[in-house]
Structure 1
């Protein structure tokens, strides 16, 4: 019976936590919440011994309980949750017995704190709204929400080989460790200048425990004496004592900003002393000790601020071949948090170690390493690794949780060799099978996993769209944009045409406006996708074109260096395809700036002192057409649509004869939509490069290319498509025939300068 209702209790506790955080600060509300929580705890504690096989669920529940500690609930109420300690201890004790992980700091930390506060992935996936980092500021200090890194740490913490290199996580204070008000007042007034270092640390411990439920941070003048004395004594503390001090700082970390006085002084001095000891040589710190200290810094959210961590991680990665497989995973987890490798790290050596240790890692551990490379924006030099990753995903996808699936998908979409596109197609097949069993967090990465190498999988897109519609209230606006991207890029015919209306409605709703303000590029990208799909919503377009919105989002000085190219595409597309639109447009001078910024280079010109290989198609076609029409005066190369990456080749025909390009059509970049001069029938040879065609589907053109041909027709140019597939590998004679055949229907070939043998 208990097992059956355990998930219900977890969901309730998650809701109660939200009530406690965001409900009005009145004692009646909090009394009700507290009473309900007590009832849950009583029922669970009574039946806890009946659960032997659901350890993961008990651990997840423990995490929910921890998040409801008094520190997270406004202190204006007289209600205390201290009575939950005994109930909570029953839950966590049983959880620890099931996992069998021992504690390293038994004399100092009385319970297994490490296991207590870290949930398993499955329990988090049901309650965590998203995997992205989120930091809120409430009552003057930071409140850290569950993030992707916490989920990854849950995996790391369950690796038994790492029990000696993982630091304990602070959870709660025992009743017997609390001091009275008078004792606290006495300690804050004590002069510690001549006190023993052990007494200073013990006093700081008592003060810290006393302040556990309080909102004041270390910047308060009352703590100046103890903090100054502590900073002076750190150089004389043993490594064990420094670990104890860093454990205590976990209580202060959510309340303090990084540069707050006293708090900054303490961790900066710790950092300095640890660097001195690490630099002594002779392996002052063992491998486990070094990892343990870095883990303490990780719990304080100060990995990036610690020079000791930067130096330590650099040393570890430059000798990554000395790490065993599990230690390598732990080190890579810290790089997930750092989101970068030290510039002096030899990433090729790291990649080589990963390849050698690959078969010793579980799929979940592989996901951690993959995320470290992805977040550090490091592509694999060895093409065998992405292929092995794809095969591992296909084989073990059914066993993976949502966070691990995201790790694999992010890595695969970041880099995958097209030569093995069939493996990517199998990855998409597997995703179709398992998508129903996972949370909405995987949808964005599932939608875009194959877009970089242009592997089209219609069933996967339909499945992602179906799941997105079902979970529309849970998705972020960034997720909607990513779900719509493959629909646009592959010119996919939706089975659920209501998706466009749903996305539009979500972006216009009041509840989404804070997200829109936070991610302005997302709404611009989404409107661009809709326009490529020939859908024009005037309200969304007006939001993107609003000058005040652009200034707030991108700064007062707007230019091509800070504005996305999609903004120019929206402005041009509205003018061409939605003349009935009466809302704001880009100022003319800004439009000209963007046109010059994005459309300036003629094919054949050097780009960063290098020849652009893709220019060969345009140059050769231009040359052949010039010969065929009889001279350069009949051919003009121009950016008719400067919001697309390539210019088009224009020519005019009247009565079967080419017409010289008039003066009004000689601009290289058209700053505004420019219909042709009425001197005859105008044609535009559109260069279709390899990237414009879906590679694994024959005669399937991409959405942006189809939009370009559509807009050229709207302006009055008849598009003639010349594909790189049909042109690149052919002889000069065959190329002449290809071009002649394409214009044979409207050009009198007797007037041409070149005759081609049929």
Structure 2
């Protein structure tokens, strides 16, 4: 270790104030953490990673993380003598040997490597790491894993050891084969420093750039370690190409491990044919696939499939619906989310999932309840179960046992309550809890700009449906701040930009309405309900059916507040349900749009959903006008 590094350590890292001769005192102040040589038992290891690595290890793709090196623990006298040794006169082999002796002793006596008494030895150890052979480096990794766990990988002494190993592996990287690169990646994974290792970054970049030279047995662990790194190399697409070429050589478990790499590195699969192959593989193995493998594949399929033009997702859910009872709640949640993200509704599958969750709802996380309520709210359905699924969810969220979890995951709790409103469910006590100043400050902080859309949503539905309830509402200033954050600008013909399909549809409908109603003064675009992202088209007719000018009715100074019906004329709001607002294969809008219409009607407006699937087929202005007027007429007269 350099002289400067040692000086920095002395000032940056607190030392234990103790006497080297008072070993008992040292043991009392050292961190009492039990060490296990088997990394799979460590608390920070995720179950998914354990499962994936065990597959790699069983197939011989990676090395074992269990060390066979075992010796008897040294005595206290030998330990004391070792500490007093003049390390500068010892060979690197002797220093390496003492590293193992100290590890066994400290593991048995719960003595942490960060203790000041090891500083001199660690300095000598890190200085001679460059002299070790490749096999000796491996032994140092295994030995480091035998020491009692430290509070952090940046703790004094341990950071010096793994950083020195990192530097030396980086120096030798260019001389190692692909298998050797993967071997040392396994060792860095074992000591849990992959995200911070320069060697790991360079090794993964090299493996990705040489993807065409990798065998299937090398591709799988490469993607696994990319998932642990949680970032994508520059040449991630090369790996996808090779996976596609060698697809038939992979088992479904291997595909799931590679899926973890893509999903955790936030890299979607670009090739829709490869995604289709994965879906077909899941369908073929639906009865035997392990739930961890299934969850990994479902996450990547969802992440890589934003819209569907065929029935691939429905076929997937059709095959998986029968497996719901044997799968965990978390796996079933991912199954539900696959349909949600692509707006592919499979009612029986969702019914089965709800029945499964009800049976184990007390063990279901708030995060998972939130995602499931979002799914049912998006599709606007209430699952067909013996007990009401949403009643069970609400009762569960009311339990005192959930208080700690809710305090830790307050936003998931708030979102869950907000998603219930998509189905017209408004639990007053839970809404009141979310809108309380104490909950908002604990969950989001003091500054209102950090509030999520769910806070504005719950505030506004309270104003609309629960006006008599004693609930703490937001100030007008806060509502305006949040509305500016969460709403899009209303498209305008005089503002030139590249509008998306939904915005183009908005402009086209506004143009048609202006031409048929008398001009710009008779049609307005605005946000009646500011907790929704997109604005709507507003028109008005008097009691005789004549258009009414509304150009300056809604003042810009009131933007962010709910726009209540100005008078007793007939006010119609056209809600544009774009291509991504319709449930796949139907003309039905999602719950976000049907709930918007419900809220508009509660305010006295006539909400009219204009589905893209029907409107996009019309070509002439006359046909569009007839279609829109028909929708408006039906909405105005449906309750007469």
> Please, what TM-score do these two structures have when normalized by structure 2?
0.89
Deviation at residue 375 of structure 1 after TM alignment: 1.2
Structure 2 residue aligned with 1:239 = 134
323-332 or 683-692: bigger deviation: 683-692
1:693-745 per-residue CA deviation (whole Å, 9 max, x = no partner) reads 2122x343321111111100111101223222222231222112223334457
Matched, 1:166 2:63: yes
> Matched residue of 1:645: which SS?
coil
**Does 1:341 find its partner at 2:244?**
no
| 1:264 pairs with 2:159 | yes
1:377 paired with 2:266, answer yes
Residues 725 and 543 (structure 1 numbering): CA distance in 2 closer, same or farther, change over 3 Å?
same
Change (3 A) 1:406 1:657: same
Query: 1:167–1:296: 8 Å Cα contact kept in structure 2?
Result: no
Asked whether 1:331 is paired with 2:219, we answer no
Quote the Cα distance in structure 1 between the aligned partners of 2:270 and 2:481. 38
Equivalent residue in structure 2 for 1:182, among 74, 77, 89: 77
Aligned equivalents of 2:441, 2:32: Cα separation in 1: 38
Is 1:543 paired with 2:422? no
Tell me how far apart the structure 2 counterparts of residues 662 and 679 of structure 1 sit (CA, whole Å).
17
Moved more, 415-424 or 575-584: 415-424
**Once structures 1 and 2 are overlaid, which stretch shifts more, 647-656 or 522-531?**
647-656
Paired position in structure 1 for 2:24: none
Corresponding residue to 1:615 among 478, 495, 503: 503
SS at match of 2:455: helix
SS at match of 2:393: helix
**Which residue among 469, 489, 494 is the counterpart of 1:581?**
469
Contact 2:435-2:472 within 8 A present in 1 as well: yes
Q: CA separation in 2, counterparts of 1:384 and 1:664? A: 52
How many angstroms apart in 2 are the aligned matches of 1:405 and 1:328? 20
Match of 1:677 among 566, 573, 578: 566
Q: Distance in 1 between matches of 2:462 and 2:54?
A: 49
Displacement of 1:549: 2.9
Deviation at 1:191, TM superposition (A): 2.2
State how far apart, in whole Å, the 1-side matches of 2:170 and 2:240 are. Answer: 27
1:45-64 correspondence runs (5 A): none
**1:127-183, CA deviations, whole angstroms, 9 ceiling, x for partnerless residues?**
xxxxxxxxxxxxxxx8435521111111111113x2xx4143248x85x52111221
Question: Which consecutive residues of structure 1, in runs of 5 or more, have no partner in the other structure?
Answer: 1-70, 76-80, 83-112, 120-141, 748-758
**Partner deviation per Cα, 1:78-112 (whole Å, 9 max, x = no partner):** xxx99xxxxxxxxxxxxxxxxxxxxxxxxxxxxxx
Question: 2:409: which partner in 1?
Answer: 519
Tell me what 2:191 maps to.
300
- Looking at structure 2, the residues matched to 741 and 383 of structure 1 have their Cα atoms a distance apart, in angstroms, of 39
Q: Does 1:447 align with 2:324?
A: no
Instruction: State the partner residue of 1:367.
Output: 256
Matched, 1:428 2:325: no
Aligned to 1:197: 92
* Residues 649 and 684 in structure 1, CA contact (< 8 A), matched pair in contact too: yes
Distance 1:197 1:239 in 2: 14
Specify the SS of the correspondent of 2:383: coil
1:155 to 48, 52, 55: 55
Is the Cα contact below 8 Å between 1:351 and 1:380 reproduced in 2?
A: yes
Return the alpha-carbon distance in structure 2 between the equivalents of residues 670 and 569 of structure 1. 15
Map of 2:16 onto structure 1:
none
Partner SS for 2:608 = strand
Cα gap change, 1:637 to 1:691, in 2 (>3 Å):
same
Contact 1:641 1:670 in 2 (8 A): no
Higher mean displacement: 496-505 or 708-717: 496-505
- Residue 570 of structure 1: CA displacement? 1.4
Cα offset for 1:420? 5.3
User: SS of the counterpart of 1:398?
Assistant: coil
More displaced stretch, 441-450 vs 299-308: 441-450
Q: Does the 8 Å contact 1:606/1:612 carry over to 2?
A: no
Q: 2: distance between equivalents of 1:660 and 1:272?
A: 74
**Residues 665 and 440 from structure 1, CA distance in 2 versus in 1: closer, same or farther, beyond 3 angstroms?**
closer
Return the alpha-carbon distance in structure 1 between the equivalents of residues 581 and 65 of structure 2: 53
Partner of residue 410, structure 1:
299
Distance of 1:449 and 1:607 partners within structure 2: 37
- Where does structure 2 lack aligned partners over 5 or more consecutive residues? 1-29
Query: How much has 1:577 moved relative to structure 2?
Result: 1.2
Superposition deviation, residue 413 in structure 1:
1.3
What is the match of residue 110 of structure 2? 215
Residues 440-466 of structure 1 show CA distances to partners (whole Å, capped at 9, x for unaligned) of 331210111121211100001001101
C-alpha distance in structure 1 between counterparts of 2:492 and 2:541, whole Å: 27
Matching residue of 1:688: 577
Q: 1:705 aligns with which of 593, 596, 599?
A: 593
Q: Which position in structure 2 is the counterpart of 1:557?
A: 447
1-structure distance, mates of 2:470, 2:76 = 67
Distance 1:547 1:631, change over 3 A: same
CA distance in 1, matches of 2:494, 2:392: 45
Distance across 2 between alignment mates of 1:552 and 1:229 = 48
Partners of 2:471 and 2:622 lie apart in 1 by 52
With over 3 angstroms needed to count, the CA separation of the structure-2 counterparts of 1:197 and 1:406, relative to structure 1, is same
Shift of the 552–191 alpha-carbon distance from structure 1 to 2, 3 Å rule, reads: farther
2:201 and 2:210 map into 1 onto residues whose CA distance is: 14
Aligned partner of 1:624 in structure 2 is 512
628-637 or 462-471: which moved more? 628-637
Q: CA deviation at 1:650?
A: 1.7
Q: Secondary structure at the match of 1:452?
A: helix
For residue 195 of structure 2, give the secondary structure of its aligned residue in structure 1.
Answer: coil
Question: Would the aligned equivalents of 1:618 and 1:687 in 2 still touch at CA under 8 Å?
Answer: yes
How far 1:311 sits from its partner (Å)?
0.4
SS in 1 for 2:145: helix
**Aligned mates of 1:567, 1:510 — CA distance in 2:** 22
Match of 1:658 among 526, 547, 562: 547
1:644 matched residue in structure 2: 532
In structure 2, how many angstroms separate the alpha carbons of the residues matched to 1:720 and 1:733? Answer: 19
Farther off after superposition, 401-410 or 681-690:
681-690
On the 8 A contact 1:215/1:255 being kept in 2, the answer is no
Aligned equivalent of 1:275 = 170
- After superposition, the Cα gap between the structure-2 partners of 1:490 and 1:744, relative to the gap in structure 1 and judged at 3 Å, is closer
Deviation at 1:512, TM superposition (A): 2.2
The secondary structure found in structure 2 opposite 1:614 is helix
Query: What are the superposed Cα offsets for residues 646-697 of structure 1, whole Å, 9 maximum, x if unpaired?
Result: 212222222221222275434486422232122522221222222222122x
> Distance between the aligned counterparts of 1:252 and 1:605, measured in 2?
68
Distance 1:744 1:263, change over 3 A: closer
1:568 aligns to 2:456 (yes or no)? yes
Tell whether the 8 Å contact from 1:390 to 1:423 is kept in structure 2 after alignment.
yes
**Root mean square deviation of aligned Cα:** 2.7
Q: For residues 333 and 487 of structure 2, what CA distance do their matches in structure 1 show?
A: 31
Secondary structure of 1:721's partner? strand
Equivalent pairs counted in the alignment come to 605
Find the aligned partners of 2:96 and 2:74 in 1 and give their Cα distance: 15
Deviation, 1:248, is: 0.7
Contact between 2:31 and 2:111, CA under 8 Å: does it hold in 1?
no
Q: Is the 8 A contact 2:522 2:539 kept in 1?
A: yes
* Aligned counterpart, 1:144: 44
Q: Tell me the distance in 1 between the aligned counterparts of 2:31 and 2:156.
A: 23
Superposed displacement of residue 548, structure 1: 3.3
